[in-house]
């Protein structure tokens, strides 16, 4: 039976909150991407997330909460973590901290830590408030495929695997949250780049912020989204500087719209090269190119020193293009 798409009316939000409390799955909008939500304290409900997505059991889930008070019921917070929540919550920042026993092991893939954040999307926050429970919510797509930033993307991938989708329009940011490991507050490190940058975090904590290198990504990741290959189209993808016309059968994704007329195999992430627009359009454009029956997709990378959202975009493209 296909999933039912719900408009964000007060009655529908109450209905979906009740469904979550019963242990059902609901795809919800956040400011980053759509998430597949379930009661984070219900191991059976969380197990259903893994089944619906085809997600391996060693890839932990992010838990979404309303605020710091609710987060401290689930994780052991330190002063550094509290400082970051004061500046960046609600928002696209996930913290990895020691978990409390109330969090089921399936949520953390058996790890002693839990990844946790407070989303900024008003509909996600209203559902959290109405449901009165923390929500485990990885991206609402088949595991490893391009993340969804619209309800239509969710239906395309999980439409016959889940019962409910809350339509909140297009996600404002378009790439997943920044994940910061704060298990050692003196040595914070970014596990996954996002809209919140290392520079912003360093300014608050006043200590150097490290970065998990690609070669250290393990088979048992500390947080979600760290697999070597992830966010990938089904079409073979390469990241390279684009010069001249593409070979027949190749789709080209440019950073900004080119001048003049364009061929049907040319796509772009932004009209004028704005980073925020590139991030917001990234997954939608990848999906369009993937649906075009091309033999290959080539994507123009951002400069390595562009910083900010460029780091997150390049990270997603490198993982999407990985061959393992």
Instruction: Answer left, alpha or beta for residue 23, where phi above 0 means left and psi between -120 and 50 means alpha.
Output: left
Q: pLDDT of 63-120, one tens digit each?
A: 999 999 999 999 999 999 999 999 999 999 999 999 999 999 999 999 999 999 999 9
CATH number of 4-216: 3.90.870.10
- Average pLDDT for 22-29: 98
Q: pLDDT of 221-243, one tens digit each?
A: 667 767 677 889 999 999 999 88
100: its two tokens? 């409390």
What is the model's pLDDT at position 324?
A: 56
Give dist(CA 71, CA 189) in Å, integer.
20
User: Percent of the chain scored above 90 by pLDDT?
Assistant: 85
What is the model's pLDDT at position 226?
A: 72
Give dist(CA 33, CA 167) in Å, integer.
12
Say if residue 139's pLDDT is above 90: yes
Q: Residue ranges of the domains in the chain?
A: 4-216, 236-321
- Window from 70-79, 184-193, 217-226, 313-322 with minimum mean pLDDT: 217-226
- pTM of the full structure: 0.94
Residue 258 DSSP one-character state: P
Q: pLDDT of 266-286, one tens digit each?
A: 999 999 889 999 999 999 999
Count CB neighbours of 309 within 10 A. Answer: 24
Say if residue 24's pLDDT is above 60: yes
């Amino acid at each position: 039976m296909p999933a039912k798409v719900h408009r964000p009316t007060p009655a529908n939000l109450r209905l979906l909150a009740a469904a979550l409390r019963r242990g059902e799955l609901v795809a919800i909008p956040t400011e980053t991407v759509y998430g597949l939500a379930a009661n984070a304290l219900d191991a059976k409900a969380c197990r259903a997330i893994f089944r619906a997505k085809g997600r391996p059991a060693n890839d932990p889930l992010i838990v979404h909460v309303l605020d710091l008070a609710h987060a401290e019921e689930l994780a052991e917070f330190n002063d550094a973590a509290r400082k970051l929540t004061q500046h960046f919550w609600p928002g696209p920042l996930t913290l990895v901290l020691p978990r409390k026993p109330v969090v089921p092991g399936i949520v953390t893939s058996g790890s002693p830590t839990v990844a946790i954040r407070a989303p900024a999307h008003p509909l996600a926050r209203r559902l959290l408030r109405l449901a009165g429970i923390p929500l485990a919510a990885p991206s609402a797509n088949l595991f490893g495929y391009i993340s969804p930033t619209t309800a239509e993307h969710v239906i395309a991938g999980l439409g016959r695997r889940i019962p409910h989708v809350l339509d909140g329009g297009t996600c404002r940011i378009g790439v997943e949250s920044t994940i910061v490991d704060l298990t050692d507050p003196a040595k914070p490190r970014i596990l996954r780049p996002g809209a919140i940058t290392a520079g912003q975090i360093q300014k608050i904590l006043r200590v150097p912020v490290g970065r998990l290198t690609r070669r250290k990504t393990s088979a048992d990741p500390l947080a979600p989204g760290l697999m070597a290959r992830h966010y990938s189209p089904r079409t073979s993808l390469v990241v390279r500087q684009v010069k001249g016309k593409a070979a027949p059968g190749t789709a080209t994704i440019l950073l900004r719209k080119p001048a003049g007329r364009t061929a049907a195999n040319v796509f772009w992430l932004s009209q004028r090269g704005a980073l925020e627009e590139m991030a917001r359009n990234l997954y939608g454009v990848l999906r369009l190119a993937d649906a075009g029956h091309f033999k290959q997709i080539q994507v123009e990378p951002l400069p390595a020193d562009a910083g900010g959202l460029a780091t997150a975009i390049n990270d997603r493209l490198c993982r999407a293009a990985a061959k393992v």
